[in-house]
């Protein structure tokens, strides 16, 4: 059972890594010109751009954490403890579940893929 548990946690970790890597990267690439065009009294708001970049780097770090956690779950699948902290496992499982449910509901309501159908104004 523990080897199956390791593979299941690795799948959850890889799904979390895909979510935290793809959605913010897509939004940054899509909205980059729009973010840089925002001005306040004629002056560009560089602080907003830096904050958006900071948030993107944080999601890339989360992506790396979940990729390593997925590999670690596979490598240590025969141990009693998978070596993945409980907070990492459950945050990935719950947040991925919420995002997947949101995307399914969005698709059922609007017949569009959430996040990826967004375009800048």
Say whether pLDDT at 5 is over 80: no
Each residue's pLDDT tens digit, 10-27: 899 999 999 999 999 999
Give the DSSP letter of residue 44. Answer: E
Each residue's pLDDT tens digit, 62-103: 999 999 988 888 887 776 665 677 777 888 889 999 999 999
Residue 30, CA distances (Å) to 101, 104, 105, 110, 119 in order: 23, 22, 23, 20, 7
Tokens found for residue 4: 């199956």
Strands (E), the chain: 39-40, 43-44
pTM above 0.75, yes or no: yes
Q: How far apart are the first and last CA of the chain?
A: 50
pLDDT band, residue 3 (cuts 50/70/90): low
């Amino acid at each position: 059972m523990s080897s199956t548990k390791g593979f299941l946690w690795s799948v959850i970790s890889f799904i979390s890594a895909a979510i935290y890597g793809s959605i913010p990267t897509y939004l940054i690439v899509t909205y980059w010109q729009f973010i840089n065009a925002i001005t306040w009294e004629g002056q560009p708001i560089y602080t907003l751009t830096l904050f958006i970049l900071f948030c993107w780097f944080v999601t890339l770090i989360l992506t790396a954490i979940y990729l390593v956690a997925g590999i670690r779950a596979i490598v240590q699948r025969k141990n009693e403890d998978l070596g993945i902290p409980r907070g990492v496992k459950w945050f990935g499982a719950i947040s991925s579940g919420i995002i997947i449910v949101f995307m399914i509901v969005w698709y059922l309501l609007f017949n569009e893929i959430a996040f990826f159908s967004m375009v800048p104004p």
